[in-house]
Structure 1
Amino acid sequence: MQVVGVTTQQEVYVASKDRKFRINEILVIEDEMLDHPKGEVVETLSYNRLIPMGLDKTVVDTEVIRSLEQIGYDIGSDEVNLAKLRLFSEAPHPVRTGCGVRSPRFEEVRRFLVNTTPERGLILGEIRGTESLGETLDEDLRDRVQLLEEGQLHPQRGVPFLFDIQSMQQYPHIGIFGGSGSGKSFGLRVMLEELMKLSIPTLVFDPHFEMQFAERMAAWGDGAPDLDDRWLSVQVGQEVGIRFSDLSTRDVVSLIGAAGGSLSESMVNVIQSLHRRRDSYPSFSDRLHNVAQAIEEGVQGLKKRLREDDLTPTEVERVKDLIELHQQYGSLPLASVKGVQWRLNRLDKAGLFQQDIRPIEQGLEQGRLVVVQGPSWVLQVFSTYVIGALYRKRRDYKDARMNGEEGTFFPPFVTVTDEAHNFAPKGVDSPPKMILKEIAQEGRKYGAFLILATQRPTLLDETVTAQLNTKFVFRTVRGTDIATLREETDLTAEEGKRLPYLRSGDTFVSSALFGRTVFVRIRAAYTDSPHVDNPFEELKAVKADRDDRVLHVIQERLPLFDTDLLDAVSLINRECGLDWDVDRLKQELEEWSKMGRIVKKESPFVTRYDAK
């Protein structure tokens, strides 16, 4: 291998007659004057005599061709392998043309690839293009990952990709971007498994009900670590919720605003006027209801009711209370009061005020991963409250320590969400957006970090995106998203062109920690998503199971005649939990007869269905 063509301080061209170059592999240039600089292959091509040299100008130019001829290449007949090599560090002067190039030993390039130990970092995958380093790999880095290829596990061949979680203190927050089917959710799952292995407190908002870790991937057998006691799953409205009496007026405004779109100024005024410190949900709800009734009936109507003779003492007291409420709050618009009331009822029907967040706090204090599940709109409302509450606890503890006080310890924690553009959308207000922006900008000082995943980075708030110091970029097709990622990362033009064609599970990792983009294959996950089954296979399996159950029910009643179908369908509905009518049963019998599962015999008078 030799350097050919015109060189610069940043890039050189390398040629070889007998060696194919791997994209992203590392090579050493034997230029003693520059202390053997190292670089990464960013583009590679092979030519042979059947393809005219110089046809493709992406890598080669006339200077490269001329230098190849001068060092003995027969352009007309030799196969020529070419690579564009980008140096890791800019050289003080251009590399000498014609000097040799070789593959490195691992110890020569370890600082470019590994910056932590497997015990302290997240073992996320294998760095692509490092297969040639496998033989010289340090013992502690061998056999650390398994890669999933076409449903089969394959052993590690290159250098494992270790993410130094300790570095988040300096380079906080992670973004995970990729289109549908790119492996984004798979990569997020692997990252969460690694956080569990290190017992790092993690709060996950799961709008798709897929972040479950109970089912192990079958390919691992007994080789996967046991994570059962490292995580718990809670659902909003069942195991967790919001204690209404803990809410400030500002919190109530935020929550009610999240229940049905932004609030008008008059609706905000209604909440500020009617909410009392330490209000329970029933007391605030009843006050809203009573004020709405008082305004709707009006003073004249209420006084007219007082003059009625058939009122009981209790009813008289209630009417007087309504008159008093009207005197206090009669100036509030009725439509605004009812709008607040509707939104509050919607939150209550979702079960938001039936529990508290103590299970989440306990899980994080134990160093576990806590998955919070629920409909997307409910999670947006709930996350506003819970992230703010937990961040305040962590911040209060750190502030107390800074002031020389003891404080109540609350652990540092990581907040994770998929579909992050719904939680912090660009150009649009959303309930959790303000707290996420605050953590993105100031959280590292207090030990609060973010991992945000989304299919649409263009729709994510720019302030949040700019604070994501590490970005995992999976396959992305949309031009606007690729442009956004190019702006927010150090992806090169060549890497940007590769984005639409990446395999599922391959990702570019752009990190301030590495100072460059690393191409990584995510390792096989230890656990399976509950949505991993193919939906079409599921459809086939469910239909086959239903057919078997129905045929088993009617087996003893065969043969069936047309006159028996009404009784048969009643039995089938009762035994199998179905809702068929006679026409539906006839259709299924016809299909089973075509499949050969039963025999259909027709006569001029009756149709008979019999066992095969």
Structure 2
Amino acid sequence: MKVVGITTQQEVYIGSKDRNFRINEFLIIMDEAQGDLMGEVVEANTYNRYIPLNINGDLVDSSVLESLRAIGYNIDEDTIYIAKVRLINEAQYPVETGSDVRVPKFYEVKDFMVKANKEEGLVLGLIRNTDQMEEDMDEELKNILYTFEDDKLQPQKGIPYILDLKSMHQYPHIGVFGGSGSGKSFGLRVVLEELMKLNIPTIVLDPHFEMDFSEMQEYLPDDEKEDFSGKFKCLQVGYDVGVKFEDLSPQDLKNLLDASSTLTDAMNNVVDILYKRKDSYQSFHDRLKMLSEAQEEGSQEKIKRRIEEATTTAETEAWKKRKELYDSYDKTCPYSSVKGIFWRLRKLYNEGIFSNDIHEIEEGLKLGKLIVVQGSTRMLQVFSTYLLNNLYHKRRDFKDALYKHTTSDYFPPFFIVTDESHNFAPKGYECPSKAVLKEISQEGRKYGVFLILATQRPTLLEETITAQLNTKFIFRTVRSSDIQTIREETDIKEEEARRLPYLKSGDVFISSATMGRTIYVRIRASKTRSPHTLNPFDELKKYSKEEEEKFYRIIKDKLPINESQFLSILGEVEKEYGEAINMDQLKEKMEKLVESEKIEKVATPFGDMYK
């Protein structure tokens, strides 16, 4: 392998007669004047006598042809392999043409590729096309992972990619980008498994109910299986966790009401005036309700008349209370705004937001667990506004207290992970959860609070937040606008951007500030699986088969049955089947059993008989 053509300080072309090149593999250029220079293959081409060498003028120009001839290549007969190589570090001078090129040894790339050991970092996958350096790799880096490719488990072949967790204090936050089916959720699952191994406190907002780690992958060898059941907990908003109304500040309450539906300035004013510190849900609800009922009467005279017409002492006292509220607040709290707040409050209550508190989440984080908060996207938008504000400020208060030499309860550093993150921090319009995520993206590093944000549409994610994601996992992406956003926010080159729509599921470009460049990685095989892994068409087939078996078990003891007997057995079949069945449905089910050859249909003088 030799350097050919005109060279620069950043890029060279390499030619070979007997070795093909792989994209993203690393090579050492032995320049006599500058010493060994490491580079990465960014383009690879093969030419032979059946394809003219000038077919691709931008790669093989006359200088490359002349160099190949000069070093003894028969360009009219030989198969020639040509690679475009970009140097890892810019050379002082253009590389010497004719320099020899070799495959690096592991020790030459170790400091560049391995930034952490497996005990302190996240073992996420395999650096592609590094298998030629595996033989002399350190023993502790060998056989520490499997990949899953071509529907089978593959042993480790190459250098593992280990994310340096400690470097996140300097280069915080991770973005996970990729289209549907690209392996984005799979990659996120692997990251979360690694965080659980290290007992890093983590809060996950899961709108798809898929981040459950209780089911192990069946394809893993027994010695590789790992039980995460004691390291995570799934909690559902409105059932297991919620908001304790008495702990809400006026701003917390406004955030919750605003997440339910946008508040006007007048509505914000209503909350400021009517909400009293330490209000219970019932007391605030009743105050709103009584004020709105008094305002519906329209005047003091009408309210006085209702007091006079009251038939019981309780009714009289209730209307007196309404009058007090009307006199105090009618001029500052418009009726429409009071009703708007009342409607939003009831909506949150009916969804179970106020049915619990976040104590279980706080305790789980203190124990180093991964807490998965599940719910619909809208419910999570509402709840996360309160939750993230609360948790972030607990951590912030603790760190500020240390700085000021005062006392505060300990709260650990933690990760916040969201899928579909563009719903929580959208670009172009405001939502309550966006404000706290934006604050954490800019200041969380100082307090030990870090973000992992996954989305199919990075273009729709708030730009300030995107800019703060120092490590980006880029899976297969098809939309040109998203690819453009990725190019603007990372050091990904044009050649790599062109490959994004064609990446295999589970292959990823990792752009890391720690590495200083983009690395091409295969995500390791996960140790757990999503509860949604069953193919929907297999699910349909399985369900149909189960229903057919259930009906067959009920009907087989009643065979043979003549069609004229259907009416007499219908009630009994309905009772055993557990569902209402009419005559037409019964006949359809019988015909399906005939199709699957479980029973036989015979024509008789008295109609069809099933036996």
Partner of 1:12: 12
1:363 maps to what in 2? 364
Quote the offset at 1:431 in angstroms.
Answer: 1.8
Structure 1 pair 172–62 and aligned structure 2 pair: CA distance change class (3 A): same
* Farther off after superposition, 188-197 or 151-160: 151-160
- Report deviation, 1:569: 3.9
Deviation digits for residues 537-593 of structure 1, max 9, x if unmatched? 010001101100111001111122233323444334332333432212212222322
Query: Cα deviation per residue 1:94-153 (whole Å; 9 max; x = unaligned)?
Result: 000001000010001111211111111000000011111111111111011100012311
Query: What's 1:343 paired with?
Result: 344
SS at match of 1:409: coil
- Cα distance in 2 for residues equivalent to 1:303 and 1:501: 75
SS of residue matched to 1:547: helix
* Structure 1 counterpart of 2:29: 29
Query: Partners of 1:10 and 1:140 in 2: how far apart?
Result: 34
Residue identity in the other structure for 1:113:
M
Q: Which one-letter code corresponds to 1:203 in the other structure? A: I
Deviation at 1:446, TM superposition (A): 0.4
Q: Which residue of 1 aligns with 2:469?
A: 468
Q: Equivalents in 2 of 1:19, 1:574: separation in Å? A: 74
Alignment CA distance shift 1:338-1:570 (3 Å): farther
Q: Distance in 2 between matches of 1:568 and 1:43?
A: 73
The amino acid that maps onto 2:264 is S
Quote the Cα distance in structure 2 between the aligned partners of 1:83 and 1:116.
31
| Structure-1 residue corresponding to 2:574 | 573
| Equivalent residue number for residue 374 of structure 1 | 375
Deviations 1:354-394 (A, max 9, x none): 11101100110001100000111011111111111011010
Gaps of 5+ in 1: none
1:90 equivalent in alignment to 2:97: no
CA shift for structure 1 position 307: 2.5
Match of 2:602 in 1: 601
- The whole-number CA distance in structure 1 between the counterparts of 2:58 and 2:508 is 23
The more displaced of 434-443 and 562-571 is: 562-571
Q: How does 1:58-457 map to 2 (within 5 A)?
A: 58-222=58-222, 223-260=224-261, 262-298=262-298, 299-308=300-309, 311-331=311-331, 332-457=333-458
Contact 1:24 1:519 in 2 (8 A): yes
Aligned to 1:524: 525
1:381-416: CA deviation from partner (whole Å, max 9, x where unpaired): 111111110110100000000011232110000000
Q: Distance in 2 between matches of 1:20 and 1:579?
A: 68
Contact 2:206-2:418 at 8 Å conserved across structures: yes
Tell me, in whole angstroms, the C-alpha distance in 2 between the residues paired with 1:570 and 1:348. 44
Paired residue type of 1:581: N
Q: In structure 2, what residue type is equivalent to 1:270?
A: V
In 1, are the aligned partners of 2:308 and 2:316 still within 8 Å (CA)?
no
- Contact 2:216/2:226 (CA < 8 Å) preserved in 1? no
Rounded Cα–Cα distance in structure 2 between residues aligned with 1:284 and 1:425: 32
Does the residue aligned with 2:600 lie in a helix, a strand or coil?
strand
Task: Quote the residue 2:40 is aligned against.
Answer: 40
> Match for 2:101: what amino acid?
V
TM-score of the superposition, structure 2-length normalised?
0.98
Q: 1:255 aligns to what SS in structure 2? A: helix
Aligned pairs (5 A) from 1:522-601: 522-601=523-602
| Separation of aligned partners in 2, 1:563 and 1:275 | 71
The code of the aligned residue for 1:15 comes to G
Cα gap change, 1:31 to 1:289, in 2 (>3 Å): same
Unaligned runs of 5+ in 2: none
- Calculate the aligned-residue CA RMSD, in Å: 1.2
Aligned-residue offset at 1:603: 3.6
Return the offset for 1:601.
2.1
CA contact (8 A) 1:45 1:59 kept: no
Closer/same/farther in 2, CA of residues 579 and 502 from structure 1, 3 Å limit: farther
Structure 1 position 334, deviation (Å): 2.0
Measure the CA separation in 2 of the matches of 1:57 and 1:425.
44
Instruction: Report the more deviating stretch, 19-28 or 556-565.
Output: 556-565
1:436, distance to aligned residue in structure 2 (A): 0.2
* SS of match in other structure, 1:136: coil
Q: Give the letter for the 1:533 counterpart.
A: L
Distance 1:567 1:463 in 2: 72
For 2:597 and 2:156, locate their aligned partners in 1 and report how far apart those are by CA, in whole Å.
Answer: 50
Contact 1:44–1:59, Cα closer than 8 Å, also in 2? no
Aligned length: 608
Q: Distance in 1 between matches of 2:175 and 2:23?
A: 24
- Determine if contact 2:47/2:80 at 8 Å carries over to the other structure: yes
- Kindly state the Cα deviation for residue 90 of structure 1 after the two structures are TM-superposed: 0.3
1:144-189 deviation line (CA, Å, top 9, x unaligned): 1100012311111100000001000000000000000000000000
CA 1:583–1:300 in 2, change beyond 3 Å: closer, same or farther? farther
SS in 2 for 1:307: helix
For the Cα contact (< 8 Å) 1:183–1:504, is it kept in 2? Answer: yes
Determine what percentage of the aligned residue pairs are the same residue: 51
Match of 1:180, SS state, is coil
Cα distance, 1:429 vs structure 2:
0.9
Query: Separation in 1 of the partners of 2:466 and 2:155?
Result: 35
Structure 2 distance, partners of 1:28, 1:533, is 46
Quote the offset at 1:503 in angstroms.
0.2
Contact 2:214/2:227 (8 A) holds in 1: no
Partners of 2:249 and 2:339 in 1: CA distance: 21
Query: 1:478 and 1:450 mapped to 2: Cα distance?
Result: 24
- Higher alpha-carbon deviation: 152-161 or 573-582: 573-582
1: CA distance, partners of 2:38 / 2:281: 65
Q: What is the alpha-carbon distance in structure 1 between the residues aligned to residue 529 and residue 521 of structure 2?
A: 21
Is the CA contact 1:29–1:37 (under 8 Å) kept in the aligned structure 2? Answer: yes
- Name the stretch that deviates more: 481-490 or 55-64: 55-64
| 3-state SS, counterpart of residue 36 of structure 1 | strand
1:316 Cα deviation after fit? 0.9
Distance 2:527 2:388 in 1: 28
Letter in 2 for 1:87: L
Q: CA deviation at 1:602?
A: 2.7
2:516, 2:283 → 1: CA distance?
A: 56
Secondary structure in 2 aligned to 1:324?
Answer: helix
